[in-house]
Amino acid sequence: MTLILNDLPALHWALAGLGIAGITLALLLLGSRRLGISSGFEDICSLVLPAPYFRRAAVVSGRPWRLPLLCGLVIGGFLSAVLGGGWQPTWALGMFDAAIGLGPAGKLAWMFVAGLFIGFGTRLAGGCTAGHGIFGLANLERPSLITTITFVAAGIVTTQIVYRVIFPLAGV
């Protein structure tokens, strides 16, 4: 199985896991920072929204390091494309194109709705795959175990419904 991005082969899982652990530990050792990405969404919101929630100490003190980290993620994706066969804007979406087959406008609507679930859900849960799934589990935190089991289970159920029931895909 190759990546949608330029049909590249995927890194070995153990190497990728090791790299992600390295980033997590580097953030902690460098600045006592807890890995977290979805918190960065509220950092961005806090730049324009006045609600008290966005004036929390955790947001104000997190922005100076989390916003550069988030910018880095975009740059990392860009470099990955440039160094791996070239960067070009694309609508390609793998299995989605084969089974669901929405055009550009449909994809934008689908992704916006999915994003709403992600943005609202991660903030209600207090974190995402990074803050709960990687850091929280590695720091043996019970709320992170509960949250991680919940979001992985919800993902499994949703994908099973989408690709085995509503849009059954041959070979899946």
Partner 1 sequence: MTKAYLVLGTIFGFILSRSGAADYDFIQGMFLFTNLQLYGIMGVAVLVGVPGIWLIKRRGRTLTGRAIEIELKPLHRGNIAGGVLFGVGWSLAGMCPGPILVNIGEGKIYAVAALAGALAGAGLFGTVYQRMQKPFALPALKVGTGEG
134 touches 140 (CB < 8 A): no
Among positions 7, 101, 158, 168, the unique one binding partner 1 when judged by CB under 8 A: 158
Classify 14 as helix, strand or coil: helix
Q: Which residues contact 121 (CB under 8 A, 6 or more apart)?
A: 151
Q: Which of 7, 137, 166, 167 binds partner 1 (CB under 8 A)?
A: 137
Binding residues among 90-129 for partner 1 as defined by CB under 8 A = 90-96, 104, 107-129
Rounded-to-integer distance, Cα 124 and Cα 141, Å: 17
Report the nearest approach of partner 1 to the CB of residue 82 (Å): 10
Establish if 85 lies at the interface with partner 1 (CB under 8 A).
no
Shortest Cβ 101–partner 1 spacing (Å): 14
CA 17 to chain centroid, in Å, comes to: 15
Q: Does 167 bind partner 1 (CB under 8 A)?
A: no
For residue 104, the minimal CB distance to partner 1 (Å) is 7
Nearest-angstrom CA–CA distance, 78 and 86: 9
